[in-house]
């Protein structure tokens, strides 16, 4: 399924989430409006390193970031492997791969439309630099 946020589209594999598409869209809308800091959705992660990285990313608090290297050290792997796992996150935004950045402080890729620009906007929103949205909720 596709969800719209900040005039861009994020593709989410809804088969990995137990709740309905309507519930997912409502929570994304609340997040965009800064009325929600955590998603209350049941996500089934894939096996292997991608699932381990997704679990680690889901523990990064709202408004904070970690580097690929920090996650790699925690998971006893390499930053490149963490980056590859982030790129395979089937539920970006819900599992916040936008909170992972390079060790140099630079934002690296993001799988949603508009890539790094979308990642930058999500982080700005979470760090209080974005504007609160006033649009109507997305309808199915």
Output b/e per residue, 93-108; b: 16+ Cβ within 10 A: bbbbbbbbbeeeeebb
End-to-end C-alpha distance for the chain, whole angstroms: 11
| Rounded-to-integer distance, Cα 105 and Cα 66, Å | 10
| Rounded-to-integer distance, Cα 140 and Cα 50, Å | 30
Find the length of the chain: 140
Select which of 97, 100, 101, 125 is catalytic. Answer: 97
What does the DSSP assignment read for 94-114? TB-GGGEE-TTS-----SSTT
33 has catalytic annotation: no
Structure-block tokens of residue 135: 């649009």
| Rounded-to-integer distance, Cα 50 and Cα 38, Å | 21
**Residues assigned a catalytic role:** 97
């Amino acid at each position: 399924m596709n969800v719209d946020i900040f005039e861009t589209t994020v593709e989410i594999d809804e088969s990995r989430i137990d709740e309905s598409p309507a519930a997912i869209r409502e929570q994304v809308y609340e997040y965009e409006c800064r009325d929600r800091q955590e998603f209350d959705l049941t996500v089934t992660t894939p096996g292997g390193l991608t699932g381990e990285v997704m679990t680690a990313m889901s523990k990064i608090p709202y408004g904070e970031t970690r580097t690929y290297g920090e996650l790699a050290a925690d998971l006893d792997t390499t930053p490149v492997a963490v980056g590859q796992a982030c790129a395979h996150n089937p539920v970006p935004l819900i599992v916040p791969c936008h909170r992972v950045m390079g060790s140099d402080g630079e934002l690296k890729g993001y799988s949603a439309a508009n890539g790094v620009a979308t990642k930058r906007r999500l982080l700005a929103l979470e760090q209080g630099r974005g504007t609160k949205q006033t649009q109507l909720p997305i309808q199915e």
